[in-house]
Structure 1
Amino acid sequence: MNTPNSQPPNKFIQWIKSSITARMFMVGFLTLILLIPLFFVQNLIEERAQRQQEVVAEINEKWGEEVLVYGPVLKIPYTLPVKKTVQNPGTKTFETLVTEEEHIAYFFPEQLNLKTQVNPEIKSRSIYKTTVYNSETHFEGSFAVPDFSDAPGEPVQILWEKARVLFQTSNLKGVNKQVKINLNGTSYLFTSKFEQRVGKSLDAVELFMMESTAIKPESLPQESKVSFTMDLHINGSQQIQFIPIGKTTEAQITSDWETNNFTGNFLPYNQDKLEGKGFDAKWRVLDINRPFPQEFFISLPTLNAYAFGVNFMIPVDEYQKSERTAKYGFLVIGLTFLIFFLIQTLSKIGIHPFQYLMIGLALIMFYTLLISISEHSNYLNAYLVASVAVVLLISLYARSILKNIKFPVFIGLSLTLLYSFIYVIIQLESYALLVGSIGLFIILALVMYVSRKIDWNS
């Protein structure tokens, strides 16, 4: 019997408390509702990651972007006979005239040796960091006597006086010293060559041309091969790569950067490349190893896909790890609610839907704490702080709900194991799926074991 000041119990709440089916639907509905703030958290992570990329791109653009080197290449014009049929205006007869049409041939070095010293450093702006570097590359090699046998016709004349040396790089802004090439003891200065570009290059990296001044006859391989040397001093970021255009290309890249990542179409051959501090990597690429010849008679092709080199980007991506962690948010919320559901069902202790909602929001706060702390520390520290804070918060809140100590302790231990399990999965790469599947199987088995005592007819 109700007293005058008492209110009748809420029938909906009473139904949820008394019906297992109703509690199951309520828990499932709240889990789906909490996917909305979880979705916004994932968008926040993506937004912060995009902001990081914008800041890194701005730093790299001012310092010097990634470096791709293509050259040196010997450019030799030549003429081919062209027959044209014209009408004689006087006799009204047709005559065949032979004229000369100029073409250009491109010849790659017979031998190309390069040694590169890269000195990286970390640049920061606000909370964001990126890797930049200055590099010094010494080129040595030789050009063989040009072979015009594969030209589209028999050359009438080779225009040696118009011969030049071409050199291409993706980062003209980063060049910090004049670029010269020494051919048979004579130096020739490179200058930028303007090229009208329509649209963007098909490759991710666009190359810009430099061309030498006129080459003296004694510096050209007209009768015998000529040797060359040149130096390139250039600032860059992210990575440095070279295209192996020599008939034999030998390269050596050294640096004190420890978190290296060899990239491109060819890998270093020396086994001791990572001994000591930094790395000392060596490559040897033969013409038979790549699918292009030593000379071209139509145009200079784009060969970016065959480059090799080293990537200096900072390998630890806190945003990527946070994004992967957030993808397990549905699993964490679902399993945590399942623990409270089983405790409520087995112990007959009432838990209000609002209390479930507060627990779910506490679980969502883990991800905002994780992303905000990781921007000022490393991922491990952020994960520890965020997980400890959330586990303590939910355990203390459970103590006030469940009115005893054993259930909050069990919940705290369960959440600790769950967050530890997810951290291990995030760290793994090759075995993440295997470990995750085994872990979920064990969790399912435990739930089946505990739930066997529940009277589902109540």
Structure 2
Amino acid sequence: MQKTLLTKLSIIVGLCVIFLIGLSMVSNIIYERQYYAESVIKEITQQHVNPQQIITPFIAIPTTVTPACQPDASDTPNTKSKCESPYSKIETVFATQTQAAQSLKVSTDTYKRGIYSATSYDGQLTFAQSYTFVDTLKNIDSTVTAMSNDADSITISPNADKAQLAKTITHWNQAKLIIPVSDLRGVATLPTVKINQKSIEASYPQIPMIENLTYVEVDIPEDVLAQLIDPTSQQNKETLVATSAMDKNPDKSEVDHQPSNPKDNQALKITIDLLLSGISNLTTVPTGQNFTLSMHSDWQTPNFIGKALPNTKNITDEGFDASWQNQYLTVANNQSLSQCISTPNHHYTIINKPTLNSDSQSYNPDSFDSSRGMMADSAAVAGSNQSVLLNSFGVSFASPNDVYLQTERAMKYALLLMLVSFGTFFLFEVLKSSRIHPIQYLLVGCALFVFYVLLLPLAEQIAFWQAYIVAASACVGLIGWYSYYVFGGFKRAVIFTATLAGLYAAFFGILSTEDLNLLLGAIFCFVILACVMVMTRKLDWYKVT
């Protein structure tokens, strides 16, 4: 009899090995279906729109720099100068304060390919910006010595030791408000822009000022250009008027004749309303001095991504509200962006396109440098390539019913399910002297294996919990009906069927608690082992007959 028990144990071990091989095949099927789902979603993005990343709008001003000529080392009277070629670059002006608001409506059934669908969103983005030029133009040399007819300012840096003075021409009349959007297909209508309460129509750039960056631009009005060129002129004018008034009316209080706050005169107010659509996620690159972002959506399961989590968030059944503010990331983006764009002769490439993450169905911009970075080719300056990365944050609209992930997690408990089922058969055979043939073990193992074969295709059609109930009920019913004939009695069949149903219910409960699944799984294994040890505590394995 001992030899028979050892033979049965060997058979059970062999069946477990076969069962695990079958599970590996099911895992391959899961990966194939997941890859196919991702390829379908990628096809949808190619035909419709990609995930969106928005860089906070800023003002770009092109400049032309003529370097100073260096005299030759020789001291001969006919000395020649060594002159470098002029080069162009772009100066950036970031907002002093930006309040960004994003209101999004998310849907999963807008774009479908068979049973697969992409999570799309439509929303309205609003940027309320304030520019204070005395503060923001510190990086631009403001020693203007001449003004040309086309509103270009010429700055000359004197140096007595040089044969020719360096010269910088700032093309103020070509200054643009840049609104970068990673995929302009998601911009159905050009945004509405108000500069100092004056509505201005945005346009697509005919000749892009910033290469390899998709954006729309807005021409700066002439009165704002004057404010850009000389932000203190209006302040000085008001000061002279106020001084003259005080001379004529010395009896009036000083407060009545004080000029207005200089920053009020220098502030430029810009409001941008942008209608935007995209797929899977939306991220924002903050720039400026004070940046705040608030987001509202009807999506109940947001996945916050990027370099910073929201400072405040509120998730309910109706959606979520979140807000971000991170001064360090904003300042770092200012430095990186201005350094890259001001590279001489535009030796840079800004890449602003989030890419599909091959590890999941969602688009995760932090998995790829291209989604949040730019490449600056500074060979003309340093002789080598340099890379600069921008920091972003936002939200990914992850599907709450990721059938492939949940099925894969369910398979992690497959071995435990099989061991408990075979172990129950074996205990009935030992304790109740039931005779169970190895073929019967094999058939029950096949029924357990079919559960996972049913679970995946059902979960692709209906909700995962519904698919789990249907597949588990079918397998438990089949095995329960078959165990009635195996054990030759109704009572034993009911006990085994109830045990198997309890296992499936316990596993589903473990799968539903994502944060505690490992702990609950460990406790469950301990309880199962304790039950087996209690049931066999008085069994003399040497005298089993």
Give TM class, smaller chain. Answer: 0.7 to 0.9
Match of 1:283 in 2: 324
**What amino acid is aligned across from residue 319 of structure 1 in structure 2?**
Y
**What amino acid is aligned across from residue 287 of structure 2 in structure 1?**
I
Match of 1:74 in 2: 59
Q: 118, 132, 142: which one pairs with 2:130? A: 142
Shift in CA distance, 248/348, structure 1 to aligned 2, threshold 3 Å: same
Shift in CA distance, 175/430, structure 1 to aligned 2, threshold 3 Å: same
State which drifts further: 39-48 or 174-183. Answer: 174-183
Taking the aligned partners of 1:38 and 1:283, their CA distance within structure 2 comes to 44
CA contact (8 A) 2:297 2:321 kept: yes
Q: CA deviation at 1:164?
A: 2.2
Match of 2:431 in 1: 346
Taking the aligned partners of 2:191 and 2:398, their CA distance within structure 1 comes to 27
Percent identity reads 27
Taking the aligned partners of 1:91 and 1:217, their CA distance within structure 2 comes to 49
Aligned runs of 1:100-115 on 2, under 5 Å? Answer: 101-115=87-101
Match of 1:260 in 2: 302
**SS of residue paired to 1:350:** coil
CA offsets 1:263-299 (integer angstroms, 9 cap, x no match): 333444456x446833343334446865344672442
CA contact (8 A) 2:333 2:390 kept: no
1:317 aligns with 2:421: no
Taking the aligned partners of 1:55 and 1:161, their CA distance within structure 2 comes to 46
State which drifts further: 309-318 or 154-163. Answer: 154-163
Q: 353, 364, 379: which one pairs with 2:449? A: 364
Shift in CA distance, 216/270, structure 1 to aligned 2, threshold 3 Å: same
Q: 21, 32, 51: which one pairs with 1:47? A: 32
CA offsets 1:384-433 (integer angstroms, 9 cap, x no match): 12112211211221221221223222211211121122112111122212
CA contact (8 A) 2:52 2:279 kept: yes
The count of corresponding residues between Structure 1 and Structure 2 is: 432
TM-score by length of 1: 0.83
Gaps of 5+ in 2: 142-155, 158-166, 232-265, 343-349, 351-371, 374-388
Taking the aligned partners of 1:248 and 1:328, their CA distance within structure 2 comes to 50
Shift in CA distance, 97/255, structure 1 to aligned 2, threshold 3 Å: closer
1:455 aligns with 2:522: no
Match of 1:384 in 2: 469
Shift in CA distance, 92/111, structure 1 to aligned 2, threshold 3 Å: same
**What amino acid is aligned across from residue 386 of structure 1 in structure 2?**
A
CA contact (8 A) 2:182 2:215 kept: no
**SS of residue paired to 1:83:** coil
Shift in CA distance, 51/156, structure 1 to aligned 2, threshold 3 Å: closer
Q: CA deviation at 1:255?
A: 2.8
Q: CA deviation at 1:379?
A: 1.5
Shift in CA distance, 416/356, structure 1 to aligned 2, threshold 3 Å: same
**What amino acid is aligned across from residue 388 of structure 1 in structure 2?**
S
Taking the aligned partners of 2:50 and 2:81, their CA distance within structure 1 comes to 57
CA contact (8 A) 2:286 2:329 kept: no
Two-structure CA RMSD over aligned residues (Å): 3.3
CA contact (8 A) 1:174 1:235 kept: yes
Match of 1:210 in 2: 215
**What amino acid is aligned across from residue 215 of structure 1 in structure 2?**
I
Taking the aligned partners of 2:67 and 2:83, their CA distance within structure 1 comes to 8
CA contact (8 A) 1:104 1:297 kept: no
Q: 200, 208, 232: which one pairs with 1:187? A: 200
Match of 1:405 in 2: 490
Aligned runs of 1:410-449 on 2, under 5 Å? Answer: 410-449=495-534
Taking the aligned partners of 1:121 and 1:51, their CA distance within structure 2 comes to 21
Q: CA deviation at 1:156?
A: 3.5
CA contact (8 A) 1:190 1:210 kept: no
Gaps of 5+ in 1: 1-14, 199-206
TM-score by length of 2: 0.71
CA offsets 1:118-138 (integer angstroms, 9 cap, x no match): 222232332223321222222
Shift in CA distance, 140/381, structure 1 to aligned 2, threshold 3 Å: same
1:167 aligns with 2:179: yes
Shift in CA distance, 192/397, structure 1 to aligned 2, threshold 3 Å: farther
Shift in CA distance, 213/383, structure 1 to aligned 2, threshold 3 Å: closer
Match of 2:274 in 1: 232
**SS of residue paired to 2:204:** strand
